[in-house]
Amino acid sequence: QSFAIGRKNKVKSIGSLRSTFDVMSWKGVLPEICVVGRTNAGKSSLINHLLNHDNIAKASSRAGKTTSIDLYQVNDRFVLADVPGYGFGGASTAGAQSNPLEKRWTGEWKPLVMDYLKKSQALHAVIFVADVRWVPSAQDAELA
């Protein structure tokens, strides 16, 4: 069965990568497509829409809901990877450093995402999701 937008696709969660060790141990067999972008830009909502499922990926109005790389196998043909977002700090560097989610991004999630993007042998494409209401940041440029 091929993938089709607007049709119910056969989707199953096949796990989560929570650490660099998980990334190094992950041996993806199917082609992978990773969805990256700023927090609350709509990454999980896009995945749910593309797959025509309401709650496959964890969409939330709360920043920092996705805390691991969540893997979804689609029609036994490919894997979609939903990764943690970034951009919790606001405008000032001081504000960014005091934000607990920004600290988690810097200390945990960014190394996880960057390792996955650089080392996944099965990664074939990256979808970069941006919200047009926000001016592109240095973090956007780094991940784009």
- Is the pLDDT at 120 greater than 80? The verdict is yes
CB 42 within 8 A of CB 116: no
Neighbours of 136 (CB within 10 A): 10
> Band of the pLDDT at 104, cuts 50, 70, 90?
confident
> Band of the pLDDT at 45, cuts 50, 70, 90?
confident
Q: What is the mean pLDDT of the chain?
A: 84
pLDDT: which is higher, 139 or 4: 139
pTM of the model: 0.84
Q: What's the pLDDT score for residue 98?
A: 73
CA–CA distances in Å: residue 115 to residues 44, 87, 97, 108, 120: 20, 18, 23, 11, 8
Average of pLDDT values for 55-60? Answer: 76
